[in-house]
Structure formats: C-alpha cells, structure tokens
C-alpha cells in the first residue's frame, strides 16, 4: 500500500481509539488543576490587595514584599523546567511522577501565582469609593471582601478565570511531553516520535476547538453577569 495511505490509516486508528480518552484526560487535568489553583490563588490575590499599604487591612510591608517576590519567582520559572523541578514533590503527594493525576501538581504550582495576579488585577478594578462607602457603613475588612470586593468584581473574575483555564490547558499539553496524559501526549508520541503528522494536526485541532468553546462560554458568562451594562 501507498506509505501515505498507511500513515493516514494509522492516524485514523489512533484518532478512533485514543483521541476521546486523551481529550478526557486533558479536560480532567485542566479543570482539576484550575480548581485547585483557584482555591490557592483566589485568597492569595485577595491578600495582595487588602494587605497592601493602602489596602483595607494593611499587613507588615516586609511580609507583603516576601509574598510578592515568591509569586514573581514562581511566575518566572518556565513551565517545562518547573515540571521537572517539582518531580520530588509530585512523588510525595501523588506517589508517582507519571500520568495525568501526577501532572496536576506542577500545573497547580504554575497556575496559582498566575491566578493570584489575575485576582489582584480584578479586585483593584473595584471602585475605591464603593469600598470607602462600605467602611462608612461600619463594615469589617472581611465583610468588605465578601460583600463588596468579590461580588463587585464577578464579571472581571469570570473573564480572568477563563483566561487562566485556557492557559492551563496549554500547559497540560506541554506536560504530555514529560509523562503527563492527554492530547499533548498523543501529539508527542504519534506526531513527533513516530512522525505521524496527521495525529499531531488532529490533536491541535481538538485543542483549538476546546479553547474556542471555553473562551466563548467564559466571555458570554462575564457579559451576562455584568449588571453595569444597561438592558
């Protein structure tokens, strides 16, 4: 048979048998990593804003400096290097450093400082006059966070979390190269190592499609939740 046709048949085989599972693995890693990263990153982002010198609950400037430097450090390590560096930690938490579940650990570590910065940005957009108003009503710093800052920045937070989830999905593909599962893995294994570019294209197309879908849903939710727009 024509070698091109053989390659195509192989590719169709892979797409039929492995693509759906790879997609599931990618979504699973992306969504779980994003959730964990939000659990850590959201409070950290809040802390960055309220603990600021001019925030509603100023913390010692030295402490804030340390937190900021740590976040910048984590943010500046390239993800490929971070993945390898945290392998001992991954083994400690998950028991292994290979597979989809194991890839969630470096993903969370890479994503939470990013999310903390995004949350910081969203919260700083809240009209300072509204925060002052809450203070003039006798709100505690915690009440201001829960009743004013977070609810007022919901549309912006949704936009930023959408940005985060699409970025994290890009990272999961990367983690496929070094032992993680998902679309990145089949693209690497069949596409790069076995020179089957059809599988590579298929994986890329699927990634592009999910990114589009996620971004559209995120944007629609952000717009719908924003009550500042007159209807």
Partner 1 sequence: MIEVRNLSKSFRTTDGPVDALKNVNLTINNGDIYGIIGMSGAGKSTLVRCINMLERPTEGAVLMDGVDLGAMNGNDLRQMRRRVTMIFQGFNLLMQRTCVRNVMLPLKLAGMPTQQAYQRAMEMLETVGLPDKANAYPAQLSGGQQQRVAIARALATNPEVLLCDEATSALDPKTTHSILELIRDINAKMGITVIVITHQMSVVQEICNRVAILENGAVVEEGKVADVFANPKAEATRNLVYPEMADANVALGNEHGQRVRLIFNGAIAANEPLIAKMALETGVAASILGASTRAVGDRAYGYILLEIPGGPDELAKAVKFLRQTPDVTVSVEVNYPENKEVEA
Least separation in angstroms between CB 155 and partner 1: 8
**Binding map of partner 1 across residues 119-148, x = CB under 8 A, - = no contact:** --------x-xx-xxxxxxxxx--x---xx
Q: Which of 41, 45, 55, 155 is in the footprint of partner 1 by CB under 8 A?
A: 155
Least separation in angstroms between CB 151 and partner 1: 6
Closer to partner 1 by CB, 100 or 153: give it.
153
- Judge contact between 143 and 57, C-beta under 8 A: no
Q: Which stretch binds partner 1 (CB under 8 A): 36-44, 107-115, 151-159, 199-207?
A: 151-159
- Among candidates 152, 102, 112, 101, which has minimal Cα distance to 130? 152
Closer to partner 1 by CB, 143 or 215: give it.
143
Q: Mapped to the 3 state alphabet, what secondary structure does the chain carry?
A: CCHHHHHHHHHHHHHHHHHHHHHHHHHHHHHHHHHHHHHHHHHHHHHHHHCCCCCCCCCCHHHHHHHHHHHHHHHHCCHHHHHHHCHHHHHHHHCCCCCHHHHHHHHHHHHHHHHHHHHHHHHHCCCHHHHHHHHHCCCCHHHHHHHHHHHHCHHHHHHHHHHHHHHHHHHHHHHHHHCCCCHHHHHHHHHHHCCCHHHHHHHHHHHHHHHHHHHHHHHHHHHHHCCCCCC
Q: Which stretch binds partner 1 (CB under 8 A): 5-13, 74-82, 161-169, 222-230?
A: 222-230
Least separation in angstroms between CB 134 and partner 1: 8
Least separation in angstroms between CB 143 and partner 1: 5
Least separation in angstroms between CB 177 and partner 1: 42
Closer to partner 1 by CB, 60 or 138: give it.
138
- Among candidates 207, 210, 190, 208, which has minimal Cα distance to 199? 190
Is 77 an interacting residue with respect to partner 1 (CB under 8 A)?
no
Closer to partner 1 by CB, 61 or 170: give it.
61
Give the gyration radius of the chain's Cα atoms. 21
Least separation in angstroms between CB 191 and partner 1: 45
Q: Which of 152, 172, 186, 202 is in the footprint of partner 1 by CB under 8 A?
A: 152
Closer to partner 1 by CB, 16 or 230: give it.
230
Q: In the complex, which residues of this chain contact partner 1 (CB under 8 A)?
A: 127, 129-130, 132-140, 143, 147-148, 151-152, 154-155, 225-231
């Amino acid at each position: 048979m024509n070698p091109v046709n053989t390659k195509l048949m192989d590719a169709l085989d892979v797409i039929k048998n492995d693509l759906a599972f790879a997609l599931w693995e990618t979504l699973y890693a992306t969504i779980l990593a994003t959730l964990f990263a939000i659990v850590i990153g959201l409070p950290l982002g809040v802390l960055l804003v309220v603990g600021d010198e001019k925030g509603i609950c100023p913390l010692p400037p030295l402490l804030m400096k340390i937190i900021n430097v740590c976040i910048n450090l984590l943010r500046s390590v390239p993800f490929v290097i971070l993945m390898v560096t945290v392998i001992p930690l991954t083994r400690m938490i998950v028991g292994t450093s290979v597979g989809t579940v194991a890839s969630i650990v470096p993903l969370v570590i890479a994503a939470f400082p990013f999310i903390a910065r995004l949350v910081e940005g969203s919260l700083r957009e809240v009209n300072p006059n509204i925060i002052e108003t809450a203070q003039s009503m006798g709100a505690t710093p915690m009440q201001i966070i829960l009743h004013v800052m977070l609810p007022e920045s919901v549309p912006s937070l949704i936009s930023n979390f959408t940005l985060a989830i699409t970025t994290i999905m890009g990272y999961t593909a990367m983690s496929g190269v070094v032992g993680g599962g998902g679309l990145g893995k089949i693209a690497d294994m069949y596409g790069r190592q076995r020179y089957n570019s059809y599988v590579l294209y298929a994986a890329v197309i699927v990634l592009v499609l999910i990114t589009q879908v996620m971004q559209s849903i995120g944007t629609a939710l952000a717009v719908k939740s924003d009550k500042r727009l007159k209807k």
